């Protein structure tokens, strides 16, 4: 019968497939629900369907339920939440760098310049995440960093000239921006800490830039001339010091030689003094010896000059010169013995007085 129907071209009935399709649909739905519930959402994509989610290291997890921020803050790792009801967002609490680009501003002189990039290194304190996000939302850095940088840069430019902004006080902009940002954050958002600010050189009009370059070239030439002058002055000072040192050395040598000669002269003088003292001592000794000898001789003579001794000497002298006269008249030279004695006493007295006067 079936063969006849097939030959006749009639359709052949197939077995029912409704039960297998239903099972397959239920299985696929179970897989989708399991994936939604069990597979954690990516750290940078909001997922309101997942139950299990992951908070990466260096972040904390914050949660909203029905648009209201919850005070629950979770650390890194896996966590659970209610699907479709609770939303979660990872918030970085480690150091991060926000780059603020294209910041136009006008200087005090009316010149428009543009800061192409300013980098702000900042950090959100973990213990103040809830109150910071409650007051300023997840984009808290837009309010207190991006918008604040624009405001502070325009304030700074409007109170300084182009020369000051571009050259004179450019090295102070980093610290001024950091102090300004941190001051407002400490007052209104204490959970935000400003670590540092890096400001790039602003872009200025080309004609003004060429003028600054020419000024810098002239300044460089002046600096080179000043340095050359310093080198020349240093060389002259060095030569002067060398000349002074040489003169001092020669002076010291002359002084030493002079002192040596003076010492030699002084030594010779002392030697002469010693020799003179020795000579004087010797002469004084000889004089004393002569004086002593003469004194003793005088004393001896005094003792010897007695009348008897003088009479003896007189007689000996007369005897040595005795002459015999023959004739009728005797010479008047014959003296009386008494007259001779008196004469000898007078001579002896005179000799004694002269001796006493000489002593």
Q: What pLDDT sits at residue 74? A: 93
Residues 104, 114: contact at Cβ < 8 Å?
Answer: yes
- Specify whether 102 is located in the same domain as 200: yes
Q: Is 105 helix (H, G, I), strand (E, B) or coil?
A: strand
User: What pLDDT was estimated at residue 359?
Assistant: 59
Q: Based on the domain organization, do 109 and 121 belong to the same domain?
A: yes
Q: What is the pLDDT of residue 47?
A: 54
Q: What percent of the chain has pLDDT over 70?
A: 75
pLDDT in tens, 19-67: 566 776 766 665 655 555 555 544 434 456 678 889 999 999 999 998 8
Structure tokens that stand for 233 in this block: 């002055």
Last residue of a domain, one of 249, 264, 292: 292
pTM: 0.51
What are the pLDDT digits (tens) for 189-235? 999 999 999 999 998 888 787 887 787 788 888 889 998 898 998 89
Residue 141: give the domain boundaries.
Answer: 93-204
Q: What is the pLDDT of residue 110?
A: 86
Task: Enter the tokens of residue 234.
Answer: 């240093």
Do 342 and 311 form a contact (C-beta atoms < 8 A)? no
User: Are 221 and 249 part of one and the same domain?
Assistant: yes
- Assign 322 a pLDDT band (cuts: 50, 70, 90): low
Q: Are residues 196 and 107 in the same domain?
A: yes
Q: Quote the pLDDT of residue 58.
A: 92
pLDDT at 311: 73
Q: Are 344 and 310 spatial neighbours (Cβ–Cβ below 8 Å)?
A: yes
Asked if residue 231 and residue 137 are part of one domain, the reply reads no
Residues 59 and 86 in one domain: yes
| 179 shares a domain with 112 | yes
pLDDT at residue 1 is higher than 50: no
* CATH number of the domain residue 174 falls in: 3.30.479.30
One domain for residues 144 and 79: no
Same domain? For 107 and 200 the reply is yes
Give the SS3 label for residue 106.
strand
- Cβ–Cβ < 8 Å for 237, 229: no
Q: What is the pLDDT of residue 3?
A: 46
| DSSP summary character for residue 159 | T
Two structure tokens written together for 220? 């460089």
Residues 277 and 220 in one domain: yes
Domain count within the chain = 4
């Amino acid at each position: 019968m079936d063969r006849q129907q097939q030959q006749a071209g009639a359709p052949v009935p197939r077995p029912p497939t409704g039960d297998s399709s239903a099972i397959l649909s239920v299985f696929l739905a179970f897989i989708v629900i399991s994936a939604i519930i069990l597979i954690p959402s990516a750290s940078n994509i909001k997922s309101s369907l997942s139950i299990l989610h992951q908070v990466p290291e260096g972040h904390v997890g914050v949660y909203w339920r029905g648009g209201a921020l919850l005070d629950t803050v979770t650390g890194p790792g896996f966590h659970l939440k209610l699907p479709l009801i609770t939303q979660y967002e990872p918030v970085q609490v480690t150091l991060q760098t926000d780059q603020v680009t294209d910041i136009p501003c006008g200087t005090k002189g009316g010149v428009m310049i543009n800061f192409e990039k300013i980098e702000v290194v900042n950090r959100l304190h973990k213990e103040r995440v809830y109150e910071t996000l409650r007051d300023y939302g997840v984009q808290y850095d837009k309010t207190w960093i991006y918008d604040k940088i624009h405001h502070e840069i325009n304030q700074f430019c409007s109170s300084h000239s182009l020369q000051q902004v571009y050259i004179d006080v450019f090295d102070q902009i980093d610290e001024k921006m950091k102090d300004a940002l941190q001051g407002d954050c400490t007052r209104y958002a204490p959970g935000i800490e400003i670590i540092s600010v890096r400001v790039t050189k602003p872009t200025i009009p080309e004609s003004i830039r060429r003028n600054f370059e020419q000024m810098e070239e002239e300044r460089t030439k002046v600096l080179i001339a000043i340095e050359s002058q310093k080198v020349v002055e240093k060389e002259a000072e060095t030569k002067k010091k060398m000349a002074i040192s040489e003169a001092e050395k020669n002076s010291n040598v002359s002084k030493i030689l002079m002192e040596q000669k003076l010492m030699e002269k002084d030594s010779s003088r002392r030697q002469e003094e010693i020799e003179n003292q020795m000579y004087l001592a010797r002469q004084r000794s000889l004089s004393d010896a002569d004086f002593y000898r003469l004194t003793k001789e005088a004393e001896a003579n005094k003792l010897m000059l007695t009348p008897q001794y003088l009479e003896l000497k007189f007689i000996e002298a007369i005897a040595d010169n005795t002459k015999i006269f023959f004739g009728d008249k005797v010479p008047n030279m014959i003296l009386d013995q008494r007259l001779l004695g008196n004469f000898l006493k007078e001579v002896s007295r005179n000799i004694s007085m002269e001796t006493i006067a000489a002593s």
